[in-house]
Amino acid sequence: KMAERGRRMASAKPVVPVEFEKDDDQNFHIAFIAASANLRARSYKIEEVDFHKVKMIAGKIVPAIATTTAMITGLVSAELLKLVTLKSRKVEDFKNAYVNLALPLFILSEPLPPVQMTSKDMDPIIMGPVRALPEGFTTWDKVVIDIGDVTLKGFTDFLQKEHNLDISIISAGNACLYNSFLPAHKSRLGTKVTQL
């Protein structure tokens, strides 16, 4: 999807910076800031302000726009443009940044590739064997299993039959969806995976 968007962007107008002008209401700069600020205020239950108050505040903070936040936003945008426009993406094409404007200190480095998972006869964390499927997968990879909206039991049975895997733990992010060592989790086997 990203490659397709990159091809569409290649024929679009180039991205050019726009000079911030708070006094010209026809450019909608203050209107955008007011809308964004009030959306954030509403999300966090902070008192919202009207257009004129936003205009007054923006006029006072224009000198403070060159902050670390603006610097990081620019660096992230540059990396995002690389992600969308580069035809072949290698880890070496991207950069990590450490910035301290007080010193001033700017350090750019190449990110490390993701850790590859490999099968082990004895894993010190789970105190047993681990089988990587597929061998060498990373947190950047995904395995698509298209077997419909099955129960957890159907899912584990599929993995046992197709890939000869004994499932002890299933997690999503930091949430443990199933742990075969916990008796309370046995009741989850009849639950649909999409409802866990």
Q: What is the pLDDT of residues 106-159, one digit of tens each?
A: 999 998 888 898 889 988 887 888 878 788 888 888 878 888 889 999 999 998
Global pTM? 0.43
| Residue 8 C-alpha from the chain's centroid | 23
| CA pair distance 145, 155, nearest whole angstrom | 9
Q: What is the pLDDT of residues 68-114, one digit of tens each?
A: 778 888 999 999 999 888 888 888 899 999 988 778 889 999 988 88
From 173, 170, 131, select the one nearest 151 (Cα to Cα): 170
What mean pLDDT do residues 11-36 have? 84
> pLDDT above 70 covers what percent of the chain?
97
| Confidence at 13, pLDDT banded by 50, 70, 90 | confident
| CA pair distance 7, 147, nearest whole angstrom | 33
| Confidence at 38, pLDDT banded by 50, 70, 90 | very high
Looking at residue 109, what is its pLDDT? Answer: 93
3 versus 93: the higher-pLDDT residue is 93
